[in-house]
Amino acid sequence: MELQTKNLVVKSNRLIEAGYKLNLQEQRIILFCITKIKSKEPLPSKTFCISASDYAEMFGIKTKNAYKELKETINSLYNRNVKIYNKESNIEGEFRWVQKKLYFNNDGYAEVTLTDELIPFLSELQETFTMYNIENVSGMKSVYAIRMYELLKQFKAFGKRKITLDWLKERLQIENIYSAFADLKRRVIDPALKEINELSDLSVSYILDKQNSRKVKEIEFVFHKKHMVLSEQSLEYAVEDNDLYHELKKLGLSDKQSKQILKEYPNEAIQKAINITKHNIENKSIKKSVSGFLINAIKDGYSSYEVMKITENEKNKRNLQEREEVITIEKNYENYVYNFVDSKIKDFSTEDKQNHIERFIDQADKVVIQLYKKHGLEYKVVYSAFVKFMKGIILSTSTIKTKEEFFIENNFISS
């Protein structure tokens, strides 16, 4: 298939968070193939040609040993599996990376064919994916550094990521290794972060969370992006990798509008306009179009949060109406959350639901317990309390719209 000039790695976030253990060379084979995929388009072929010279050049190894390493690596990769987790449906799937391999010994290249199951996590990706330039990991010698870099890059918009050690070890498939945190820190975490800090576009540190005990259970990574110079050929992807691009789209701008804005205006001005727009959304000051307001804020360089010139008399007249609108919005969002939790409860198996009911009753007050014994769970007061109890449990493992997203999506704008 035709090679691309952009050395970009683009993976579905589910593949980023998958459970697998590949050695350094096996990781490199997969990454090499991914850089040849146009992630937003259908994949014309699952088969990739890897020459020893291209492989050596990408990862900075000696050409003399490249074909031998290439062949040995593909042989071992052929038997490797990857485990995908579906958090919402609590389903785990496992499949191989490679379904076919061919060696052209006289010509110094190989062909690998990726499995059908892997392709959806690499091509036709429209959302929830992570993207980076392979130069950020090509010099790494630790396979853990590559995996941890990807897990951090996935959360680039936040600049931090907190994960449990059990979760991390499951994804790296080292659950039965390094049971002592000191060993995990010395053999995995510290060497990985050293390479990330030295070789990639991220600067990373971490904070340990012992959760009121001596034993470390969670680790929070804090990171920021170093200043990097982008190549012209990566510009289109770099625009979409810009966090402001997604902010603009979230506030109602089209793909074309967002890209044009990013090309014509400095990031600082765009961020300022976004902040002003969000402020005016919260204050119910935008009368019509959120996207129109945002565009004007960028183009006209609004400099004050008090953009909408509303006199004190006008504000007083609108106070009552605004309070009523806020109450309506809050109620609508509460109903949205309630219905979301209710739908998840209805999906529980009988056994799971009963286990949750027992835990609910253990902590319920006496009035609720008495009503439950007399009327059962479906009694309105009892079921409302049960939904409230389940809310924290369900939302901790599910994705739900924020109040701001719900507000914008449902067009709760003052008229």
Q: Which among 143, 77, 144 has a CA at the least distance from the CA of 115? A: 77
Continuous segment of H or E residues that includes residue 392:
helix 380-395
Mean pLDDT of the region 225-252: 66
| Helix, strand or coil, per DSSP, at residue 95 | strand
Mean pLDDT of the region 237-248: 70
How far is Cα 140 from Cα 138, in angstroms, rounded to an integer? 6
Query: pLDDT tens across 66-104, in order?
Result: 888 899 999 999 999 999 987 766 778 899 999 999 999
Q: What is the pLDDT of residue 241?
A: 58
Q: What is the pLDDT of residue 236?
A: 55
How far is Cα 137 from Cα 134, in angstroms, rounded to an integer? 6
Q: What is the pLDDT of residue 309?
A: 47
Please state, rounded to an integer, the average pLDDT across all residues of the chain: 83
- Position 196 confidence tier, pLDDT thresholds 50, 70, 90: very high
* Sheet of 47-51, strands arranged across: 47-51, 109-114, 98-104
Which of 200-214, 238-252, 376-390 has maximum average pLDDT? 376-390
- 2 pLDDT higher than 90: no
Q: What topology does CATH give the domain 8-225? A: Arc Repressor Mutant, subunit A (1.10.10)
Which of 160-174, 292-306, 327-341, 360-374 has maximum average pLDDT? 160-174
Determine the residue type at 323: R
Q: What is the pLDDT of residue 415?
A: 37
- 37 pLDDT higher than 70: yes
| Helix, strand or coil, per DSSP, at residue 62 | coil
Continuous segment of H or E residues that includes residue 261:
helix 255-264
* Chain CA centroid to CA 347, Å: 25
First and final CA of the chain: distance in angstroms? Answer: 54
- 19 pLDDT higher than 90: yes
Q: What is the pLDDT of residue 393?
A: 85
Determine the residue type at 132: Y
Query: pLDDT tens across 385-394, in order?
Result: 998 888 888 8
Q: What is the pLDDT of residue 185?
A: 92
- 312 pLDDT higher than 60: no
Q: What is the pLDDT of residue 9?
A: 93
Full-prediction pTM beyond 0.85?
no
- Position 184 confidence tier, pLDDT thresholds 50, 70, 90: very high
